[in-house]
Amino acid sequence: MSEFDWYLQINLKARHLRLLVTIDTYRNLTQVADVTHVTVPAVSKSLAELERGLGLTLFSRTARGLVPTPYGDCLIRHARSMLTILHQARDDLKALSSGTEGKVYIGMLPASASVLLPQALSFLKERSPGTNVMVTEGTTASLLPELWQGRLDLVVGRLPPPTDTHGSFEEKELLEEPVALMTGHHHPLARKKTLDWSDLRSYPWILPPPGSILRDPLERVLEAHDVPLTNNYIETLSIHVARAQLQVSDFIAVLAGIAPNDTTQPLYTLPLSLPRLLRPAGVLWNRIRGLSPSAQLMVACLEEAAQRLSTGSTTTPRGIKPAAKAKAKRPQ
């Protein structure tokens, strides 16, 4: 074993990882000393020992403070991942010692998991009341980096194109949710006996935000039918905001997996055929890290919820059907 390998495998400690991340955050030894409650010479000595042990320069001393070298950038990136894993191990051990059974960190794509995930969480709590969950809403762009870095165990919602995941994640398809053009029942287009795409041109839209999975394919479909988007629109991923706005305005929205005949906020589905704009709803996890027992149980509950929703065993939005066999699938 080389001296470099020995230092990494035997002598590198959690305090070194925390030091690296803290220096990268503040880039100033005085601030690092303040937040770590030690002296500046002590911080400088610890960094020098780490660089000497590795035989690498991790930070350059500049007029702008400490700037990571390429070696520093590499080690800092791994240090953040390792500290995340240690924090999760701490949480799991605390949970076990307090009588609970673990914790699952889930990222939720709200526009496509608002029915599936709550049902799955109900099944989880029925099976294992001591397994706790933290749910974070966000977009694919914000949640996938968190999943890759280990701060999330699962991401639930509309599966992104495989080209967006670069083969980094395992995925399981769960539900096919049709996409439809919807309005409120009072909308002028809801009273027309026949409808053409050109009839949509003068109305405002509720759109998914730029960068969301549905936005680009929606714009391509509208362009193909010569329906330009007006300057009068609202951008949101919130189904609740979209539903409420459709009840009080002449907006048109594109929604997936929504029950048009909901008794509280009934919607009208415009009779215009859309191609398959999106992949099924499903669940993603980090291929390298795998799944903890609690996360495996959550995936099983998601599968059960998808099956129940598709067969109508629970309150089921009309038109939802299961993804084919819901097989685990490796993105290419």
Here the CATH number for the domain that contains residue 48 is: 1.10.10.10
265 shares a domain with 184: yes
| Cβ–Cβ under 8 Å, residues 281 and 183 | no
Q: At what angle do helices 70-97 and 140-149 cross, to 10 degrees?
A: 80
Number of domains in the chain: 3
Q: Of 244, 269, 294, which residue is a domain's last?
A: 269
67 shares a domain with 13: yes
303 shares a domain with 168: yes
Residue span of the structural domain in which 251 resides: 179-269
| Model pLDDT, residue 97 | 67
pTM over 0.85: no
Residue 129 domain-assigned?
yes
Residue 93 domain-assigned?
no
236 shares a domain with 210: yes
248 shares a domain with 172: no
Residue 86 domain-assigned?
no
Grouping H, G, I as helix, E, B as strand and the rest as coil, residue 327 is: coil
> How sure is the predictor about 319, in pLDDT bands with cuts at 50, 70 and 90?
very low
104 shares a domain with 74: no
| Cβ–Cβ under 8 Å, residues 160 and 213 | yes
110's CB contacts (< 8 A; 6+ apart) are: 137, 157, 237, 238, 239
CA dihedral 210, 213, 215, 219 (to 10 degrees): 140
Mean pLDDT computed over 308-331: 54
Most confident of 6-15, 197-206, 273-282: 197-206
Indicate the pairing of strand 169-176 with strand 281-286.
antiparallel
| Model pLDDT, residue 130 | 85
183 shares a domain with 260: yes
| Model pLDDT, residue 171 | 92
pLDDT tens-digit map of 98-133: 655 678 999 998 766 677 899 999 999 999 988 889
Picking from 70-84, 108-122, 125-139, 141-155, which range would have the lowest pLDDT averaged per residue?
Answer: 108-122
